[in-house]
A and B are shown apart, each in its own frame.
Chain A
Amino acid sequence: MGATMKNVWFAILCVVGFVAEVSAKEFILTSARPNKLFLLDAVDGRVAKTYKVAGQTIGSWSIVPSKADGRVYVTTNNHETILGIDLLSGQEVFRANLSQGDKRVRSIYGMDVSSDGKKLYVHVNPVRLKRDSLEVMDNQVLVFDTNSGLDSVASEAHGVPRRIQGLMVSSDDKSLYLLGRDYHQMNLVTGRIVRDFPVGSWQVAARSPGEVGGHWMSFEYSDIQTQAVYSVHTDRDPYSPTAYQTGVSLLNRKTGEFKTVDFEYTADLIFATAASSRTPDVFGVYNSLVKIDSNAGKAVKRVPLEATYYTVNTSINGEEVFIGGGGCKVAAHDADSLDRIWGRDLPGCADQSFSWLRVVDLDEEMIVGLERKEFKFQSKYELIMEYVDAWNRHDVEGVLGYFSTSFTFEDLPMGMSARTKGELKKILEKTFQEVPDFSMIIERIHEGDSFVVTEWLQKGTASGEVEGRYIEHIPYQVKTTSVIEFSGNKIVRLSDNWDKEALMSNAKK
Chain B
Amino acid sequence: MKHLRAANQKAKAIEQAVSPQELDEVYAMQAVGGCSTTTDPGWEVDPIGGVASLCQPMEADLYGCADPCWWPAQVPDIVGGYSDWGKGVDSAEKGWRELDVAYPKPVK
Contacts and interface: CB of A to CB of B under 8 A. Distances in A.
A213 B40 contact: yes
A484 B67 CA distance: 37
Given A58-B78, A307-B57, A310-B64, A215 B32 contact: yes
Contact of A214 (B48, B53, B68): B68
B79 A78 contact: yes
Contacts of A267: 48
B10 A132 contact: yes
Interface string B1-36: 000000001100100000000000001111111000
B12 to A, nearest CB: 11
Interface string B28-65: 11111100001111000011100011011101110110
Contacts, number: 135
A33 B79 contact: no
A83 B35 CA distance: 29
A108 B68 contact: yes
B73 to A, nearest CB: 17
Given A131-B9, A139-B30, A269-B41, 13 more contacts: A58-B86, A60-B68, A163-B28, A213-B40, A214-B32, A214-B33, A214-B68, A268-B52, A269-B53, A325-B64, A326-B64, A351-B64, A351-B91
10 contacts: A212-B32, A214-B31, A214-B32, A307-B60, A308-B55, A308-B57, A308-B60, A308-B61, A351-B60, A354-B68
Given A162-B28, A162-B30, A348 B10 contact: no
Main secondary structure of the interface of B (DSSP, over half): loop
Contacts of A162: 27-28, 30
B84 interface: yes
Interface in A197-213: 211-213
B92 to A, nearest CB: 6
B82 to A, nearest CB: 10
A311 B28 CA distance: 25
Interface in A257-305: 266-269, 286-287
Contacts of B57: 307-308, 327
Interface of A: 32-34, 56, 58-60, 78-79, 106, 108-109, 125, 131-133, 136, 139, 162-165, 180-181, 211-215, 230, 241, 244, 266-269, 286-287, 306-308, 310, 325-328, 348-351, 353-354
B60 to A, nearest CB: 3
B94 interface: yes
B90 A326 contact: no
Contact of B33 (A131, A213, A244): A213
A17 to B, nearest CB: 44
Nearest to B78: A59
